Amino acid sequence: MANLGNFDATTVDPAKSADVLPPGKYVVQIVASEMRVTKDGMGQYLWLELDVLEGDSLGRKLFDRLNLVNNNPSTVEMAQRTLSAICHATGRMQVQDSEELHLIPMLADVRVQPPKNGYGESNTIRYQPLDQAAAAPATRPAAATQPAKPATQSAQPRPATAPWRRSA
């Protein structure tokens, strides 16, 4: 038994479901990233948290994992290609730290992957520069009444070592 003190659920908004986003093109930005150890402890992945900046899904979150340290060369190559797509989409061709990719709007082409391995549906993401949004306006969610916040650089000091190069 755990003592919860005087918890009052009427004072806290309940957790919202983590349903997948419907397929479409969304304006997003990376808001957090870090290197994490894989479940088997044999590799590392770059974990990304993204915010949707416009449309009906304004404020929703997307997450991505790039397996940059893995025994399977194909897995590493796929992660590096995705990281390259993010760099191209943000206009940052050479980065030392994943934080350099934060808060820069880009286009995410989101798809839904069917359930597998006991997990439910999930989103897959392909990254594109924002100028490609004009090429497919029919699939882009409707713009929200509030404009997206402009990209700003974080005032926090950056680590000396790139997170995707750090050892766990």
Listed in sequence order, the DSSP H helices in 36-122 are: 73-90
What lies within 8 Å, CB to CB, of 96 at 6+ separation is 158, 162
Chain center to CA of 66: 10
What's the pLDDT at 133? 52
Burial 50-86 (b: 16+ CB within 10 A, else e): bbbbbbebbebebebebbbbbeeeebbeebeebbebb
Q: What are phi and psi of 68, to 5 degrees?
A: -85, -20
What's the pLDDT at 119? 83
What's the pLDDT at 17? 60
pLDDT tens-place string over residues 38-50? 999 999 999 999 9
What's the pLDDT at 130? 92
Tokens describing residue 62 = 């997307």
What's the pLDDT at 88? 97
Residues of the chain with pLDDT under 70: 1, 16-18, 132-168
pLDDT tens-place string over residues 7-40? 888 888 777 666 899 999 999 999 999 999 999 9
Domains and CATH numbers, the chain: 19-135 (2.40.50)
Q: What is the Cβ-side half-sphere exposure of residue 142, based on CA atoms within 13 angstroms?
A: 3
Contact 126, 109 (CB under 8 A): yes
Determine the residue type at 6: N
